[in-house]
Amino acid sequence: MSIQSLLGSNSAEDFTIHATDSVKSAAEQMRQHGITALVVKSDEALKGIISDRDIVYAVSRRGEAAISLSVLDVMSHAVVTAAPADSLKRAMHLMVHHRVRDLPVMADGKIVGVVSMGDVVKYRLEDLETESNVLRDAYIALAVAKPTP
Protein backbone atom coordinates (compact mmCIF):
# COMPACT_ATOMS: atom_id res chain seq x y z
CA MET A 1 0.00 0.00 0.00
CA SER A 2 1.33 3.44 -0.88
CA ILE A 3 1.23 6.75 0.95
CA GLN A 4 -1.01 8.06 -1.84
CA SER A 5 -3.82 5.88 -0.47
CA LEU A 6 -3.67 7.72 2.87
CA LEU A 7 -3.83 11.23 1.48
CA GLY A 8 -7.21 12.73 2.15
CA SER A 9 -9.23 15.17 0.13
CA ASN A 10 -7.82 18.21 1.93
CA SER A 11 -6.10 20.81 -0.19
CA ALA A 12 -2.32 20.97 0.17
CA GLU A 13 -2.83 24.57 1.33
CA ASP A 14 -4.55 23.20 4.45
CA PHE A 15 -1.16 21.82 5.49
CA THR A 16 1.04 24.86 4.81
CA ILE A 17 1.87 28.14 6.47
CA HIS A 18 4.28 30.94 5.64
CA ALA A 19 7.43 31.34 7.71
CA THR A 20 6.50 34.93 8.60
CA ASP A 21 3.05 34.04 9.98
CA SER A 22 2.59 34.04 13.75
CA VAL A 23 2.66 31.00 15.99
CA LYS A 24 -0.89 31.90 17.02
CA SER A 25 -1.95 31.72 13.37
CA ALA A 26 -0.31 28.29 13.05
CA ALA A 27 -2.10 27.01 16.15
CA GLU A 28 -5.42 28.34 14.87
CA GLN A 29 -4.94 26.72 11.46
CA MET A 30 -4.06 23.39 13.08
CA ARG A 31 -7.18 23.59 15.22
CA GLN A 32 -9.44 24.47 12.28
CA HIS A 33 -8.22 21.53 10.21
CA GLY A 34 -7.80 19.06 13.06
CA ILE A 35 -4.13 18.48 12.31
CA THR A 36 -0.97 18.52 14.39
CA ALA A 37 1.60 19.98 12.00
CA LEU A 38 2.00 22.44 9.16
CA VAL A 39 4.65 22.59 6.46
CA VAL A 40 6.42 25.94 6.52
CA LYS A 41 6.98 27.68 3.20
CA SER A 42 8.82 30.80 2.15
CA ASP A 43 8.46 31.88 -1.48
CA GLU A 44 6.95 28.45 -2.25
CA ALA A 45 10.10 26.70 -0.99
CA LEU A 46 9.92 24.17 1.85
CA LYS A 47 11.61 25.71 4.90
CA GLY A 48 10.59 23.40 7.73
CA ILE A 49 7.68 22.07 9.70
CA ILE A 50 5.89 23.39 12.77
CA SER A 51 4.08 20.95 15.01
CA ASP A 52 1.94 21.24 18.09
CA ARG A 53 4.99 20.01 19.99
CA ASP A 54 7.09 22.93 18.67
CA ILE A 55 4.41 25.35 19.88
CA VAL A 56 4.24 23.77 23.35
CA TYR A 57 8.03 23.92 23.69
CA ALA A 58 8.04 27.58 22.61
CA VAL A 59 5.36 28.48 25.17
CA SER A 60 7.23 26.62 27.91
CA ARG A 61 10.44 28.52 27.10
CA ARG A 62 9.03 31.98 26.35
CA GLY A 63 5.63 32.09 27.99
CA GLU A 64 2.70 33.90 26.42
CA ALA A 65 5.04 35.92 24.21
CA ALA A 66 5.60 32.76 22.13
CA ILE A 67 2.25 33.13 20.37
CA SER A 68 3.40 36.42 18.85
CA LEU A 69 6.63 34.97 17.45
CA SER A 70 6.92 34.08 13.80
CA VAL A 71 6.66 30.45 12.76
CA LEU A 72 10.29 30.69 11.60
CA ASP A 73 11.36 31.29 15.21
CA VAL A 74 9.92 28.03 16.59
CA MET A 75 9.70 25.57 13.69
CA SER A 76 11.85 22.50 13.13
CA HIS A 77 14.20 23.15 10.25
CA ALA A 78 15.13 19.55 9.50
CA VAL A 79 12.31 18.00 7.50
CA VAL A 80 11.94 14.39 6.48
CA THR A 81 9.67 13.98 3.45
CA ALA A 82 8.06 11.15 1.56
CA ALA A 83 6.70 10.70 -1.95
CA PRO A 84 3.14 9.59 -2.78
CA ALA A 85 4.46 6.34 -4.27
CA ASP A 86 6.43 5.41 -1.13
CA SER A 87 5.13 2.43 0.79
CA LEU A 88 3.53 2.68 4.22
CA LYS A 89 6.37 0.50 5.49
CA ARG A 90 8.84 3.17 4.33
CA ALA A 91 6.74 5.89 5.97
CA MET A 92 6.76 3.98 9.26
CA HIS A 93 10.53 3.47 8.98
CA LEU A 94 11.12 7.19 8.35
CA MET A 95 8.91 8.20 11.27
CA VAL A 96 10.56 5.81 13.72
CA HIS A 97 14.13 6.38 12.51
CA HIS A 98 13.86 10.19 12.52
CA ARG A 99 11.51 10.34 15.52
CA VAL A 100 8.87 12.42 13.72
CA ARG A 101 5.09 12.17 13.86
CA ASP A 102 4.28 13.93 10.59
CA LEU A 103 5.68 13.42 7.09
CA PRO A 104 5.15 16.03 4.40
CA VAL A 105 4.38 14.29 1.12
CA MET A 106 6.08 15.92 -1.85
CA ALA A 107 5.57 15.37 -5.58
CA ASP A 108 7.47 17.30 -8.24
CA GLY A 109 8.82 19.68 -5.59
CA LYS A 110 5.35 20.58 -4.30
CA ILE A 111 3.56 19.53 -1.15
CA VAL A 112 0.58 17.30 -1.83
CA GLY A 113 -0.29 16.48 1.77
CA VAL A 114 0.93 15.38 5.17
CA VAL A 115 0.74 11.87 6.59
CA SER A 116 0.68 11.53 10.37
CA MET A 117 1.71 8.65 12.58
CA GLY A 118 -1.97 8.29 13.47
CA ASP A 119 -2.87 7.86 9.78
CA VAL A 120 -0.26 5.13 9.35
CA VAL A 121 -1.20 3.30 12.56
CA LYS A 122 -4.92 3.43 11.74
CA TYR A 123 -4.34 1.94 8.31
CA ARG A 124 -1.99 -0.71 9.67
CA LEU A 125 -4.54 -1.78 12.30
CA GLU A 126 -7.25 -2.04 9.63
CA ASP A 127 -4.86 -4.06 7.46
CA LEU A 128 -4.06 -6.44 10.34
CA GLU A 129 -7.77 -6.88 11.10
CA THR A 130 -8.48 -7.75 7.47
CA GLU A 131 -5.59 -10.22 7.44
CA SER A 132 -6.83 -11.80 10.66
CA ASN A 133 -10.34 -12.17 9.24
CA VAL A 134 -9.03 -13.80 6.06
CA LEU A 135 -6.92 -16.27 8.05
CA ARG A 136 -9.84 -17.07 10.37
CA ASP A 137 -12.20 -17.63 7.44
CA ALA A 138 -9.63 -19.86 5.71
CA TYR A 139 -9.18 -21.90 8.90
CA ILE A 140 -12.94 -22.34 9.26
CA ALA A 141 -13.28 -23.34 5.61
CA LEU A 142 -10.53 -25.95 6.03
CA ALA A 143 -12.06 -27.26 9.25
CA VAL A 144 -15.50 -27.62 7.63
CA ALA A 145 -14.09 -29.23 4.47
CA LYS A 146 -11.95 -31.75 6.35
CA PRO A 147 -13.90 -34.86 7.31
CA THR A 148 -13.63 -35.89 10.92
CA PRO A 149 -12.44 -39.48 11.62
Residue 64 has pLDDT above 70, yes or no: yes
Mean pLDDT of 34-58: 91
- Is residue 129 situated within a structural domain? yes
Q: Which pTM value belongs to this model?
A: 0.77
Mean pLDDT of 100-107: 91
Query: How do residues 19-41 score in pLDDT, each as one tens digit?
Result: 999 999 999 999 998 889 999 98
- Is residue 22 situated within a structural domain? yes
Total number of domains constituting the chain = 1
Mean pLDDT of 71-83: 93
Asked if 123 and 1 touch (Cβ cutoff 8 Å), the reply is yes
CATH number at residue 138: 3.10.580.10
- Is residue 5 situated within a structural domain? no
Maximum mean pLDDT: which of 5-14, 97-106, 111-120: 97-106
- Is residue 81 situated within a structural domain? yes
